[in-house]
């Protein structure tokens, strides 16, 4: 970056790249990098510009607020929550009450008008943009700073943009940001703020989500993990919805295969859309029945996003000189921000900061030694066990009631909760998926977290002793009482080589990625009935005889309950047989992918039924061949 650029208030994406973090922050630097260097590889990035960190520092000095901020923060104590909240509020008010210098305000307005002209909206004040914070200490290898500052969506007109910019500047001093900087050893003025002004992708009329180029829970490098929900992506990031989840196997994807190895529907009752009510720019509305009874993403979209994740990971790894997995936000445009609607876009990419720094020379294995009454279940984050006294807190205004080593139980978290999350022994939320705020921060803190329980705040009482288990697969459990468990730590460097091949027994597809990280020579046995029990959860005869069951349900309330449960699990499928075939294929695929290319031996179930054999087609899977779903679609045996 030239010295002349370092004194500019505005820099366009075409002018910045990954080395410009000190001037435009991590988010802007990455957007500029992709806009310039990955467009030719087919990756779409909406255009925009950065308001530089120089503009931020210029604003603080010209408005005369820098000294006031230093005075307010003189006796800061981040461990005293009342002290932190009071000082944070005073600093933010000082910034938002200050006036933007005229030359800075004019530069921002002129850049907004230029962006509007690109999209055919010159002089209308109708161009919808996202105003997003981009801190200069953002997305570092040892500190993500993710979600520390604010984002404002569907902002229109120069006046609206200027107001949102001041709020973004002030959000550098949110309580969670002040606390996070202090804990990471940064001075409060070591970090400056740049702002992203980017054309909105109209995912309010489509869908959006987050994807990682590795598995978020285990760090398994050969899978792309994608989450998706209807509407704007803030619901996914905040954990307001439990999104759909998909896995794609990278090695066979790169061979041109349709390598989708897992699909999991979410609980998507709401979506975030544009709003003009009560001066609000966004709102949540109910999803339609049609949206609830299909996967959010089509297979072609899953595969395109996965290919983009691989390209982004390869580019950033090449630039860094080492393997660099990525955390990526994407959105689909429903109204056509460029010529033609229905396109997918990448709106952010940053380094993954948990598994990329993990010590892989040791392996920790948690085991529950006893089971108790199950209070709540959800999606497990991590593979640890935590326990303590539960504290049900539903508002960040009540966080002073929380004490160290308690189990935090709440509806969902956002960055305002971080001062108490770092004190918790475990976290339990009603809402959220693997890429929500609670999941990301609990991984960074190294504590177990169960998300998407639905009713934890009702099922668990404050003061109750609980055990939070994330060591039993993808489902996390909250048990009543302080139950016994053990932790086995294995030094993988000390595991001896044997003449006999060590083959593994694997029955739960959801645990295959973590099990594959142990020294092994492949899978000696993966029993099909275990996969059916753990991964599908419905007896094949119930799916074969679904129509008869439904007829009997009118007269038998027990059967009606079974049919209701089948409908709930298979809601994205009209053909119940196809559900079984797809889920069995995905379960076997996930095990095979985890141990690729060593091989997997699958034993067919011992069901004695011609109908069942017709349902399965006698399929077996060997990973060196191809994705089982593809072969089933073509009528080929997977032998």
Is it the case that residue 617 has pLDDT exceeding 50? Answer: no
Phi-psi region of 119 (alpha: psi -120 to 50; beta: other; left: phi over 0): alpha
CATH class of 203-353: alpha beta
Dig out the tokens for 89 from the structure.
């509020």
Tell the burial category of 325 from Cβ atoms under 10 Å away from its Cβ (0-12, 13-18, 19+): buried
Residue 238 pLDDT exceeds 90? no
More confident residue, 202 or 177: 202
Top-confidence residue, 490 or 131: 131
Q: What is the band of 410 on the pLDDT scale with cuts at 50, 70, 90?
A: very high
- Asked if the model's pLDDT at residue 365 lies above 90, the reply is no
| Average pLDDT score over residue span 254-280 | 89
Query: Given this model, what pLDDT does residue 2 score?
Result: 52
Percent of residues in the chain assigned helix, strand, coil, to nearest 5: 40, 25, 40
| The pLDDT of residue 605 | 57
638 or 359: which carries more pLDDT confidence?
359
Task: Report strand pairing: 223-230 vs 207-212.
Answer: antiparallel
| Average pLDDT over every residue of 579-585 | 92
Specify the CATH number for 496-633; select among 3.40.50.150, 3.40.50.300, 3.20.20.60, 3.40.1410.10. Answer: 3.20.20.60
Task: Look at residue 115 in the predicted model and tell me its pLDDT.
Answer: 96
Provide the β-strand partners of residue 212: 225, 327
pLDDT average, residue stretch 336-350: 79
Phi-psi region of 579 (alpha: psi -120 to 50; beta: other; left: phi over 0): alpha
Number of alpha carbons in the 13 Å side-chain half-sphere of residue 238: 13
Average pLDDT over residues 331-339: 74
Position 375 pLDDT exceeds 90:
yes
Token pair, residue 219, equals 């760090």
Segment 247-261 mean pLDDT: 95
Confidence band for 42, pLDDT divided at 50, 70 and 90 = very high
Topology at the third CATH level for domain 362-489: Glucose Oxidase; domain 1 (3.50.30)
- The residue that leads in pLDDT, 419 or 236, is 236
Q: Which tens digit of pLDDT belongs to each residue from 133-170?
A: 998 864 444 444 455 678 899 999 999 999 999 999 99
Q: What is residue 615's predicted lDDT score, i.e. its pLDDT?
A: 46
* 621 has a pLDDT exceeding 70: no
Give dist(CA 161, CA 132) in Å, integer: 11
| pLDDT higher than 50, residue 614 | no
Q: In this structure, are residues 385 and 403 in contact, taking their beta carbons and an 8 Å threshold?
A: no
In 3D, which of 148, 169, 150 has the Cα closest to residue 59? 169
| Neighbour-count burial of 275, counting CB atoms closer than 10 A to its CB (0-12 exposed, 13-18 middle, 19+ buried) | middle
In the predicted model, what is the mean pLDDT of residues 36-62? 95
Q: What is the pLDDT of residue 262?
A: 95
What's the rounded Cα separation, in Å, for the pair 612 and 615? 5
On the question of pLDDT at 224 being above 50, the answer is yes
Query: What is the pLDDT, as a whole number, of residue 268?
Result: 82
- The CA-CA-CA angle for residues 563, 566, 569, to 5°, reads 150
**Count of CB atoms within 10 A of residue 101's CB?**
16
Give the model's pLDDT for residue 463.
97
Placement of tokens 């085991």 in the chain: 367
Provide the 3-class DSSP secondary structure of residue 214. coil
User: 290 exposed, middle or buried (CB, 10 Å; 0-12, 13-18, 19+)?
Assistant: exposed
> What's the chain's length in residues?
639
| Predicted pLDDT at 608 | 47
Decide if pLDDT at 229 tops 60.
Answer: yes
Q: What is the mean pLDDT of residues 580-593?
A: 92
Sequence-separated (6 or more) residues with CB below 8 Å from residue 489: 362, 363, 364, 365
The answer to whether residue 539 scores a pLDDT higher than 90 is no
pLDDT for residue 21? 92
Calpha distance 338→202 (Å, rounded): 11
For residue 304, pLDDT over 70 is answered with: yes
Pick the more confident residue, 180 or 584.
Answer: 584
The highest-confidence range among 50-54, 187-191, 501-505, by mean pLDDT, is 50-54
pLDDT class for 368, splitting at 50, 70, 90?
A: very high
Burial of 207 (0-12, 13-18, 19+ CB in 10 A): buried
pLDDT score recorded for residue 580? 93
Reported as a single tens digit per residue, the pLDDT across 556-566 is 888 899 899 99
- Rounded to the nearest angstrom, the gap between the alpha carbon of residue 621 and the centroid of all alpha carbons in its chain is 30
Is the model's pLDDT at 277 over the cut of 80? Answer: no
557: how many CB neighbours lie within 10 A of its CB? 8
How far apart (Å, rounded) are the C-alpha atoms in residues 41 and 438?
33
Rounded percentage of the chain residues whose pLDDT exceeds 70: 90
Q: What is the DSSP letter of 203?
A: G
Q: How confident is the model at residue 127 (pLDDT cuts 50, 70, 90)?
A: very high
- DSSP calls for 448-470: -EEE--SSHHHHS-TT-EEEEE-
Domain boundaries, the chain: 5-199, 203-353, 362-489, 496-633
> pLDDT (tens digit, 9 = 90+) per residue, 480-508?
999 999 998 888 888 888 888 888 888 88
Task: Say which CATH architecture domain 5-199 belongs to.
Answer: 2-Layer Sandwich (3.30)
């Amino acid at each position: 970056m030239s010295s002349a650029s370092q004194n500019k208030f505005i820099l366009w994406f075409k002018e910045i790249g990954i080395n410009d973090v000190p001037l435009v922050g991590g988010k802007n630097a990455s957007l500029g990098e992709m806009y310039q260097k990955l467009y030719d590889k087919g990756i779409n990035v909406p255009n925009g510009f950065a308001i530089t960190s120089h503009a931020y520092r210029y604003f603080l000095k010209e408005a005369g607020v820098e000294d006031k901020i230093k005075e307010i923060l003189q006796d800061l104590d981040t461990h005293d929550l009342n002290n932190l909240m009071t000082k944070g509020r005073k600093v933010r008010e000082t910034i938002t009450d200050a006036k933007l210098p005229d030359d800075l305000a004019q530069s921002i307005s002129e850049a907004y008008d230029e962006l509007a002209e690109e999209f055919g909206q010159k002089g209308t004040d109708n161009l919808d943009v996202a105003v997003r914070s981009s801190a200069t200490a953002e997305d570092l290898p040892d500190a993500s700073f993710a979600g520390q500052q604010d984002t404002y969506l569907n902002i229109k007109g120069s006046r609206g943009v200027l107001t949102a910019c001041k709020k973004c500047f002030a959000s550098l001093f949110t309580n969670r940001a002040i606390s996070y900087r202090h804990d990471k050893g940064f001075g409060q003025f070591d970090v400056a703020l740049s702002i992203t002004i980017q054309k909105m992708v109209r995912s309010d009329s489509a869908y959006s989500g987050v994807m990682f180029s590795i598995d978020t829970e285990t760090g398994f490098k050969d899978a792309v993990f994608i989450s998706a929900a209807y509407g704007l992506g803030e619901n996914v990031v905040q954990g307001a919805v439990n999104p759909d989840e998909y896995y794609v196997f990278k090695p066979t994807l790169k061979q041109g295969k349709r390598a989708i190895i897992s699909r999991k529907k979410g609980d998507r009752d709401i979506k975030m859309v544009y709003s003009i009510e009560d001066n609000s720019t966004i709102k949540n509305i109910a999803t339609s029945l049609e949206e609830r009874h299909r996967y959010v993403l089509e297979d072609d979209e899953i595969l395109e996003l996965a290919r983009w994740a691989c390209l982004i990971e390869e580019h950033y790894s090449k630039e860094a000189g080492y393997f660099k997995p990525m955390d990526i936000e994407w959105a689909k445009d429903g109204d056509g921000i460029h010529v033609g609607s229905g396109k997918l876009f990448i709106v952010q990419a940053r380094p993954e900061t948990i598994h990329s720094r993990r010590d892989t020379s040791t392996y920790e294995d948690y085991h529950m030694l006893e089971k108790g009454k199950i209070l709540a279940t959800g999606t497990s984050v991590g593979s640890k066990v935590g326990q303590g006294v539960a504290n049900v807190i539903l508002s960040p205004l009540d966080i002073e009631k929380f004490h160290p080593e308690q189990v935090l139980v709440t509806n969902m978290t956002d960055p305002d909760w971080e001062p108490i999350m770092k004190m918790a022994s475990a976290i339990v939320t009603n809402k959220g998926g693997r890429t929500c705020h609670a999941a990301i921060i609990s991984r960074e803190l190294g504590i177990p977290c169960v998300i998407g329980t639905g009713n934890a705040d009702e099922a668990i009482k404050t003061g109750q002793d609980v055990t939070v288990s994330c060591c039993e697969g993808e489902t996390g459990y909250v048990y009543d009482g302080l139950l016994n468990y053990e932790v086995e730590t294995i030094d993988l460097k000390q595991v001896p080589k044997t003449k006999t091949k060590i083959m593994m027994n694997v029955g739960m597809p959801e645990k295959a990625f973590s099990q594959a990280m142990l020294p092994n020579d492949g899978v000696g046995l993966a029993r099909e009935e275990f996969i059916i029990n753990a991964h599908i959860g419905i007896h094949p005869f119930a799916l074969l005889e679904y129509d008869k069951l439904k007829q009997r349900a009118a007269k038998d309330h027990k059967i009606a309950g079974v049919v209701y449960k089948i409908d709930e699990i298979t809601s994205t499928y009209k053909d119940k047989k196809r559900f079984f075939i797809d889920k069995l294929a995905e379960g076997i695929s996930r095990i095979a992918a985890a141990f690729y290319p060593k091989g997997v031996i699958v034993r067919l179930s011992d069901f004695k039924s011609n109908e069942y054999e017709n349902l399965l087609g006698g399929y077996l899977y060997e990973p060196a061949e191809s994705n089982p779903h593809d072969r089933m679609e073509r009528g080929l045996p997977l032998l």
